[in-house]
Structure 1
């Protein structure tokens, strides 16, 4: 070990874009690896440290709104997927790039995954990342109360939980963990439903969710309920966009969440692809439509905001 270096940690590199592309290329004709094409003058701040865990720094990449794009003054913090144990913030580079070119500032945090630390460590991390983004909002042309949280797959589950439960103080100071919208890309919303458990608890203690939550549903039911975003939907819930691959297992709990949002008269929208892979945000031809759905939803919310006098 080099003096002063961070302690070694286990890294799960089983979930990569290349691995998924090989898995999907014969099943989805026309699938293509999404390019990242920069505009002249576009700026990205890579690996800004946003917290120290006591053993290492955690970093966030920030895609600034591209020159010449509409003045959205809206930020989006995106949480990557990977079964709570794998994945990387760079998986969102293609989507972040498209959103930046539509005028959004996009924050991509790294966070502790289950091989390093179980729940709620990763939730506390993304809550701290949101707090960091709020504290640095002016640097990126934003105000603190105009930052949405979103994520994909397990990251969508985490983002949903932060959006609905963060203000309560469950994962740190609630006033710094308030988002103005939620974007859930194929993320489970209720861990406790029979259809969810059929998949997420199928391997018992060895399932990715169990490894993250510290035990199977039978052994740790209270944590599974607490980690269900649907358990936290109340009158102060944020406007919600759910974008689905069309594969029902990945958005279990959606109907209950939408019913609750309707009950509290909170704006929401759901869009489902047809014949799309679970990881649609990684690949063309689905990626541009996902970016367009996010832009359309956030634009609709902005249009309803009172005009400043």
Structure 2
């Protein structure tokens, strides 16, 4: 499952036209976000996991934070995969942290989830210094990163998945989740590609996972009453992760009245946004504004 980086030019969503008067002067180049790379966001088993911080330029600060989780089939990818989106959303006032996590086959589930919970605790510990409301944090992930982001969002403060990483203090609750092209019910991937099935086996550390193992690693298993709002995006023609996976997650939310929205992207594959990517950008920005008021 390749990375899904939402390469949208969201800055254009700030533009507004109208009027019949003289054409306005060309807008000035928007101020660039402040970027700090290579921060240690978690220490686990003698390894330092790193993150890149994207802070809004002066005057655009919303006091809201986003945690970005890259894809790559749980075995490849890096925090740099989300730079384009993190930059654009920083321009809209959101502080972003894009993080690395340990990869399969060196580790297996739930280690990547534990790493993300560790990074979230670290993010929350820095909230005051970044002028961020620690209760207003959303997680964004694509492909395998969407799977992990969903697990993170749906297992808040669950002692089974908090791990040994430092820091250990702080809540692992988020306020919302944006999920694109992810697998959410690993027990129902019979129609997935051989590549997708192989990455699931690598994540679980076995070629013959049991039904219990598949269920325990599936976000749909953890959807409960009170689950945070989710924006679920999925390509209509996704050749890697079947569209049915998005329907399954949405249906699990409906059963417990969990707030959320599913957008099936017409004509889109696994890592693209179809014929009207700006529409997806608008939906994303609107969802964040509503979920992180």
TM-score, scaled to structure 1? 0.77
Shift of 1:169: 2.5
Q: Over aligned residues, Cα RMSD in angstroms? A: 3.0
Shift of 1:85: 0.5
**Counterpart for residue 24 of structure 2:** none
Whether the 8 Å contact between 2:3 and 2:70 is mirrored in structure 1 is no
Structure 2 residue 204 is matched with structure 1 residue 222: no
**Counterpart for residue 198 of structure 2:** 207
Structure 2 residue 43 is matched with structure 1 residue 58: no
Deviations 1:204-257 (A, max 9, x none): 9x81110111113x4333221111000000112111101112235345433333
2 CA distance for matches of 1:150 and 1:251?
Answer: 19
- Give 2:150's match in structure 1, choosing from 152, 155, 160: 160
Deviations 1:24-44 (A, max 9, x none): xxxxxxxxx878998435201
**Counterpart for residue 116 of structure 2:** 126
**Counterpart for residue 247 of structure 1:** 237
**Counterpart for residue 64 of structure 2:** 74
Q: Which protein has greater RCO, CA pairs closer than 8 Å, 6+ apart? A: 2
SS of aligned partner of 1:238: coil
SS of aligned partner of 2:53: strand
**Counterpart for residue 180 of structure 1:** 175
1 CA distance for matches of 2:227 and 2:147?
Answer: 15
**Counterpart for residue 198 of structure 1:** 191
Shift of 1:177: 1.1
**Counterpart for residue 5 of structure 1:** none
SS of aligned partner of 1:159: helix
Shift of 1:72: 2.6
Count of residues in correspondence between the two structures: 268
1 CA distance for matches of 2:182 and 2:9?
Answer: 24
SS of aligned partner of 2:37: strand
2 CA distance for matches of 1:174 and 1:263?
Answer: 33
TM-score, scaled to structure 2? 0.81
- Give 1:42's match in structure 2, choosing from 26, 33, 36: 33
Deviations 1:123-169 (A, max 9, x none): 11011011111111122221221111120000001100111123322
Whether the 8 Å contact between 2:266 and 2:275 is mirrored in structure 1 is no
- Give 1:146's match in structure 2, choosing from 130, 136, 141: 136
2 CA distance for matches of 1:299 and 1:156?
Answer: 20
1 CA distance for matches of 2:170 and 2:251?
Answer: 26
Structure 2 residue 269 is matched with structure 1 residue 277: yes
